[in-house]
Amino acid sequence: MHERKLGEVVLRVEGISLSFGAMRVLNNISFDVRQGEIRSIIGPNGAGKSSMLNVINGVYHPQQGTITYRGVTRDQMKVHHAAAQGIARTFQNIALFKGMSTLDNIMTGRNLKIKSNMLQQAIYWGKAQKEEIEHRKKVEEIIDFLEIQAIRKTPVGKLPYGMQKRVELGRALAAEPELLLLDEPMAGMNVEEKEDMCRFVLDINDEFGTTIVLIEHDMGVVMDLSDRVVVLDYGLQLADGPPDEVRANQAVIDAYLGVSN
Amino acid sequence: MLYREAGEFKSTYRADQAILTIRQDRWFMWALLVVAFLVIPLVSSEYWLGTIMLPFLILALAALGLNVLTGYAGQLSLGTGGFMATGAFAAYKLATAFPELHILVVILMSGGITAGVGLLFGIPSLRIKGFYLAVATLASQFFLIWMFNKFGWFTNYSSSGVISAPPMSLFGDNFVTGPYATPEAKYLFTLTLVVLFALMTKNLVRSNIGREWMAVRDMDIAAEIIGIKMLPTKLKAFGYSSFLCGIAGALWAFVYTGSVEPLAFDVNRSFQILFMIIIGGLGSIMGAFLGAAFIVLLPIFLSNAPHWFGLNIAVDMISHIEFMVFGALIIFFLIVEPHGLARLWQLLKEKLRLWPFPY
Ligand SMILES: Nc1ncnc2c1ncn2[C@@H]1O[C@H](COP(=O)(O)OP(=O)(O)O)[C@@H](O)[C@H]1O
Ligand SMILES: [Mg+2]
């Protein structure tokens, strides 16, 4: 990949261990994410990748370890706090608001930026309307960026899978996040859809300077996009480094790349 | 192509975000308002205004309230009757303790008090969902009605058990409650309030809070992850919903029946209003009105229709038929069309938009 200068560390997880009952899902995981980079997490199914993202944005609370975000070290993140601090994400299994249109789903992504109170919204005319128009402009920029103008008013439940993934990305972008967590954004897509999604990920990173943590199975995509890669295998951290280095790592070849996935 | 949006390109977001974006829809709404405010009071008999239009409007307001909570925010409630009773008794206590209060103040304050009660019963919704929440709200229904029956303080220790709403006027001798109030005055007073609250509700559901309610309804964990706080969002739904139900209860007791009795707000009322939003359309403002109209008018239709066809059907048979029709419709709408009559109306419009060309 192209040579890039990575910024300072924005997120560091250190010694993270997470168990559900007797099952240990993450075992002493440590890595950092630098400003402006695309950081990938790879590993076979059940390796603990999604759980790792859940630890980062506070859905799961690890039994051990610390998370340092924006210079503050904590034992665990809280979901609301993570959102308020600029962490947004998409889900492996799409988690859109099925009964709402594309537009409303993405508008909802801006909820933390809305200042008018319930009474002002009930009256609507005045502050609430001004704000709605302001945020609508921003959301239309995202709609243009993701090329989903045609499905603006469609209820998302009716959209094909690939489009739903795009809308979900749009909802995350609407928050103007500093750190974007993408959980298998290209899974289940055809080649063309994958190419589009790759382009979006790169553009988000380039144009908005958003730091991205990416979970992806397609090795070609991972090697192309990533600045650095963490490899997990059944809760253990096998390797961490630039794509070329990880690809050459014997433990990784044995445990993951050697096995057809 | 009389009905269409083609050629009505929206050049501003402001226009695109309007309540009704299609010109014909706006005309239809204005026409409906003219009919409701001018034509109906002129042409309707006292019977129609007093015994059909009034309960229709008041029940539509309660259905609107329940639709905010259940249709928009996804919190199933069987406590609507209890909240209406709270509004009715709050209005009675306020109007008797402070006779100088204006009727509007009394009604708004009873809504406010009911909102407080609704908030209280909404707190468990953070922990319990779906079926269990429905049971909890059912418990609140029984508790509230029991409380109003049990403690004489609520009825001002009336020995007869029948308590009448005092006569109150909007201004001068324009009475809207009590024996001096004309059906026209009662109707117009209620209509004005209901239209204003419907507009307010529409504004809420098209703003941020409405999107937050629907987000919580559709996928609460994703809602939390984008920064929506569960408790305040659910409590706002409980509060606003019970505010509307409380006002509906106060109007029912003061303007419609003229007497405050817990029996009018028993669990059957809760189910009746739930059926209204299921038949009318969950998560739709118009659905609340369509559902209320349907449930108020169906019994009248059923008891008159046989005569039109020269049939003679016994009264108890008619009530059996009524139950069967309701049951079938509710099952139909729950399974086939959860968005109810409002959605059917929408589909009809989409067909109209394409007419006369099918594509
Ligand atoms: N909430 C949970 N409760 C119990 N087990 C879980 C939970 N979340 C994840 N797991 C388990 O943790 C392991 C790792 O899951 P996950 O993080 O989804 O893996 P990946 O995303 O790498 O495929 C799996 O065995 C999964 O069953
Ligand atoms: Mg996963």
Residue of chain A with shortest Cα separation from B213: A108
**Candidate from A99, A112, A122 with C-beta closest to B204:** A122
**Residue ranges of chain B with per-residue pLDDT less than 50:** 1
Residue-number span of the structural domain to which A10 is assigned: 1-86+177-261
Q: What stretch of H or E contains A145? A: helix A127-145
Angle at B227 between CA A58 and CA A151, to 5 degrees: 115
Question: Is A43 touching ligand 1 by the criterion CB < 6 Å?
Answer: yes
Residue nearest atom 13 in ligand 1 by C-alpha distance = A46
Domain identity same for A255 and A129: no
A258 pLDDT more than 60: no
Residue nearest atom 4 in ligand 1 by C-alpha distance = A20
**Candidate from A80, A171, A175 with C-beta closest to B229:** A80
Domain identity same for A159 and A187: no
Cis ω for the linkage preceding B356 (within 30 of 0): yes
Confidence of residue A186 (pLDDT cuts 50, 70, 90): very high
Domain identity same for A79 and A185: yes
Domain identity same for A130 and A229: no
Q: How far is B206 from chain A (nearest CA, A)?
A: 9
Tell me whether residue A51 is in a domain. Answer: yes
Domain identity same for A67 and A193: yes
**Which residues are within 8 A (CB) of B252 and not within 5 positions of it... i.e. 6 or more apart?**
B55, B58, B84, B88, B264, B265
Q: What is the pLDDT of residue B127?
A: 87
What residues are neighbours of ligand 2 (ion), with CB under 5 Å? A 50, 92
Q: Among A144, A176, A208, where does a domain finish? A: A176
In this structure, are residues A24 and A38 in contact, taking their beta carbons and an 8 Å threshold? no
Domain identity same for A71 and A199: yes
Domain identity same for A135 and A13: no
Domain identity same for A171 and A218: no
Tell me whether residue A2 is in a domain. Answer: yes
Tell me whether residue A94 is in a domain. Answer: no
Q: What is the pLDDT of residue A251?
A: 84
CA dihedral sign, ordered B195, B197, B198, B202: positive
Q: How far apart are the C-alpha atoms of A133 and A137, rounded to whole Å?
A: 6
Kindly state the tokens that stand for B292: 């209320």
Kindly state the tokens that stand for A41: 């997490």
Tell me whether residue A93 is in a domain. Answer: no
ipTM score for this prediction? 0.94
Residue A88: other Cβ atoms inside 10 A: 25
Q: Among A129, A145, A176, where does a domain finish? A: A176
pLDDT in tens, A6-32: 889 999 999 999 999 999 999 999 999
**Candidate from B13, B217, B226 with C-beta closest to A109:** B226
Count how many pairs of residues, chain A against chain B, have C-beta atoms within 8 Å. 107
Its pTM surpasses 0.90: yes
Number of Cα atoms under 13 Å in the Cβ half of residue B52: 15
Q: How far is B283 from chain A (nearest CA, A)?
A: 10
Number of domains in chain A: 2
Q: How far apart are the C-alpha atoms of B171 and A43, rounded to whole Å?
A: 75
Q: How far apart are the C-alpha atoms of B324 and A112, rounded to whole Å?
A: 48
CA of A26 to the centre of ligand 2 (A): 13
Domain identity same for A189 and A166: no
pLDDT in tens, A63-102: 999 999 999 999 999 999 999 999 999 999 999 999 999 9
A261 pLDDT more than 50: no
Whether A171 has its CB under 8 Å from any CB of chain B: the answer is: yes
Q: What stretch of H or E contains A245? A: helix A243-248
Domains of chain B, start order: 22-354 (1.10.3470)
Name the closest ligand to CA A183: 2
Domain identity same for A49 and A168: no
Query: B183-205 and B54-66 are packed helices; what angle lies between their axes, rounded to 10 degrees?
Result: 20
Domain identity same for A79 and A127: no
User: What average pLDDT is seen over chain A?
Assistant: 93
Q: What is the pLDDT of residue A131?
A: 95
- Separation of CA B338 from chain center: 18
Domain identity same for A80 and A203: yes
Tell me whether residue A92 is in a domain. Answer: no
Residue of chain A with shortest Cα separation from B18: A129
A260 pLDDT more than 60: no
Q: What is the pLDDT of residue B358?
A: 53
CA of A217 to the centre of ligand 2 (A): 10
Q: Among A150, A176, A202, where does a domain finish? A: A176
Whether A228 has its CB under 8 Å from any CB of chain B: the answer is: no
- Ligand 1 atom at shortest distance from the alpha carbon of A235: 14
CATH number at residue A41: 3.40.50.300
| Residue A182, helix vs strand vs coil | strand
Q: What is the pLDDT of residue B118?
A: 96
Q: Where are the alpha helices (DSSP H) in chain B?
A: 13-16, 23-34, 40-43, 46-48, 54-66, 80-97, 103-122, 130-150, 183-205, 208-218, 220-225, 230-251, 267-280, 285-308, 315-335, 340-354
A108–B215: do the CB atoms touch at under 8 Å? yes
